[in-house]
Amino acid sequence: MNKYIRYAITRMKSNPFRYYSSRLRAIYYNIFYTIGKGCSFQKVKFYKPSQGKMGKKSIQIGKRVIIMRGTELIGFNNLPTYIGENTFINQECLIRPHVSIGKNVSVGMRVGFISDTHEIGTLEKRAGKALYAPITVGDGCWIGANCTILGNVTIGNGTVIAAGSVVIKDCEANSVYAGTPAKFIKSLKE
């Protein structure tokens, strides 16, 4: 049995009201977004964008995803946010538009998937038009606490990103990366 499912069962037995209220949130959000079965959300914030169109395809979440309290998600129909099945996202994470997180991924607390940037504007306002560069996290990855993943980054399957790292470049599959900026540390066995 998957460790996240064991965790959910333990939570359900210790506090059934909290368990069922987080499940009801997932059912409610399914009205507005594409949410898989068996998901559990604890006070997750789904933001309506100030620009771009939002709909069922703007945020797509697979089956049995657990997202802890304080996490914020935003997506547009043309730049959706996707989270694969059996993924665990810890508290206070920030997931911006055009982010794709694979299956069986573990994300530590306070991780930022920051896909947005701006064109350099005129003298009056240097932060010009908003741009959203893609972020892709492969299946089975582990992203440590307090990491920042910037746009135009692909993290390969089975990669570990150490806590506190800032990822600005692509990361190879089955590897460990750490630091600011994140650098290759070692390869992992498959």
Residues annotated catalytic, as ranges: 118
Q: Prior bond to 49 cis, omega within 30?
A: no
Give Dmax (Cα) for the chain. Answer: 59
Q: Give the H/E segment covering residue 11.
A: helix 3-14
Q: Are strands 127-132 and 116-120 parallel, antiparallel or unpaired?
A: antiparallel
Report the amino acid identity of residue 50.
Answer: S
Tell me, rounded to whole angstroms, the distance of Cα 7 from its chain centroid: 19
The C-alpha R_g of the chain, in whole angstroms, comes to: 17
Q: Give the H/E segment covering residue 67.
A: strand 66-67
Q: What angle do CA 161, 165, 171 make, to 5 degrees?
A: 45
